[in-house]
Structure 1
Amino acid sequence: MISAELTIIPIGTPGTSLSEYVAVAVSALDSTGIKYELSGMGTLIEANTPDELFEAIEIAHEAVFKAGSERVVTSVKIDDRRDRERTMADKVHSVEKKLP
């Protein structure tokens, strides 16, 4: 299981609110069937293969252009662990078990 944190930032938008563009990117992720979790600073996504992950990222990135942005900056942080399968929820639970 591959986990990634995705942040897509449209540049040159008419206003300061970006939620319209985030919604377009998230809708694009919906169309891929990939598992994701939206947060206030980015989107966590899970994929089974690198190809599946990169395809979903490309679809979300391109959706923001289709929504009218002239420039898009996309940042991705990837955690690809191959010795055992761990979901995002597993990782959070592992930390929570260690909290006092």
Structure 2
Amino acid sequence: MSVLMELAIFPTDKGGSVGAAVGRVVEMIRDSGVVYQVTAMGTLVETPTLAEALDIVQRAHDVLAGDASRIYATVKLDIRKGDTGRIYGKARSVTDRIGSVNT
């Protein structure tokens, strides 16, 4: 199984710049050992199970909850039996058809 998740999570009560808080979440994701990719609007994560993906969401919340009174999060999931490595394969499917793209 492959679970692709796009997660955007940040405190809403810390002013206009939340890069430090987002950095703490990305650090947790990096240290968890899952395959991930940071984008301008969120972080893509690939896990072998839904439970592991949802655990990342819980852990991201826990990272922020200590000093935030309000947290905003969006989560998108693409769950597929069988294939793994889709975090790179989906983008490669497009570039194989049209050539290089901005990354």
**TM-score, scaled relative to structure 2:** 0.86
Distance 1:28 1:85, change over 3 A: closer
Offset at 1:83?
A: 4.7
Using the alignment, how far apart are the partners of 2:10 and 2:41 within structure 1?
Answer: 11
1:42-77 Cα shifts (integer Å, max 9, x gaps): 0000101111111111101210112x1111111100
Moved over 4 A (4+): none
Aligned-pair identity (%): 28
- Structure 2: where are the runs of 5+ without partners? none
SS in 1 for 2:73: strand
RMSD: 1.5
- Structure 1: where are the runs of 5+ without partners? none
Alignment of 1:1-100 (within 5 A): 1-13=2-14, 15-66=15-66, 68-99=67-98
SS in 1 for 2:63: helix
**TM-score, scaled relative to structure 1:** 0.88
Distance 1:83 1:29, change over 3 A: closer
Structure 1, 24-33 or 52-61: larger mean CA deviation: 24-33
